[in-house]
Amino acid sequence: MLGGDLVAVWDVALSDGVHRIEFAHGTTTGKRIVSVNGQEAVRRDWMFKLVGKETFTVGSSNTRATIVIEAISGFAYEYTLEVDGKSLQKFIDNRAKTSKTWLLKVDGEDCRVVLEKDTMDIWCNGQKMETMGEFVDDGTETHFTLGEHECCIKAAASGGKKKSGIVHYLLLDGEKIPVSTQ
């Protein structure tokens, strides 16, 4: 679909999943095509200006993304992706503070569980989960199910380490699941 003009590919991890953004730029025709997860989001044929910006949305939360096209020298171009008004790296760093991700297998299927710390929303493979929260002695527990399995995200004080504040654990049938770096 994007053909030989494909110039950039980015993977953006949001709560509802990892989204692949592809950008094709025809520097002789002025064509610009943005696709998100293989679906065309923007198509412009015969753009007279070869530099500029293309803005579109990503994911079920309609997160705003912008591809910035800049000329570096002669006929060389640089493409940068901004997500939610921040450079991709800043967005990733910020997401690391505001969300936590676990990758696990449940009944043989890959599951990507994401906790949004600010809202305490929990997502699994792109679906927002029904949850029930409760206060316990050492913090809070947010319960949900994956198939026939009891899951719980526990939020507890880190125990003296001022920097880390609250620590979140995912328990699947009582077993602690390690956090993913992604």
- The one-digit pLDDT tens for each residue of the chain (182 residues) are 566 789 999 999 999 999 999 999 988 888 999 999 999 999 998 877 888 999 999 999 899 999 999 999 877 899 999 999 999 999 999 998 999 999 999 999 999 999 999 889 999 998 999 999 999 988 899 999 999 999 999 998 776 655 667 889 999 999 999 887 65
What is the fold, at CATH topology level, of the domain defined by 98-177?
Answer: Lipocalin (2.40.128)
The per-residue pLDDT for 127 is 93
Asked if residues 6 and 22 have their Cβ atoms less than 8 Å apart, the reply is yes
Closest by alpha carbon to 30, among 9, 66, 5? 5
pTM score above 0.85: no
Query: Which amino acid would we find at residue 3?
Result: G
Query: In a 3-state reduction of DSSP, which class is residue 14?
Result: strand
Asked if residues 58 and 19 have their Cβ atoms less than 8 Å apart, the reply is yes
Q: Residue 14 and residue 7: Cα distance in Å, rounded?
A: 23
For the chain, give every domain's residue range: 3-84, 98-177
One fold for 3-84 and 98-177: yes
At residue 110's C-alpha, the angle toward residues 108 and 114, to 5°, is: 140
* CATH architecture under which domain 3-84 falls: Beta Barrel (2.40)
Query: Which amino acid would we find at residue 46?
Result: W
Q: Residue 86 and residue 92: Cα distance in Å, rounded?
A: 9
Q: Residue 98 and residue 168: Cα distance in Å, rounded?
A: 12
Q: Residue 134 and residue 154: Cα distance in Å, rounded?
A: 10
The per-residue pLDDT for 159 is 67
The per-residue pLDDT for 57 is 97
The per-residue pLDDT for 139 is 86
In angstroms, the first-to-last Cα distance of the chain is 28
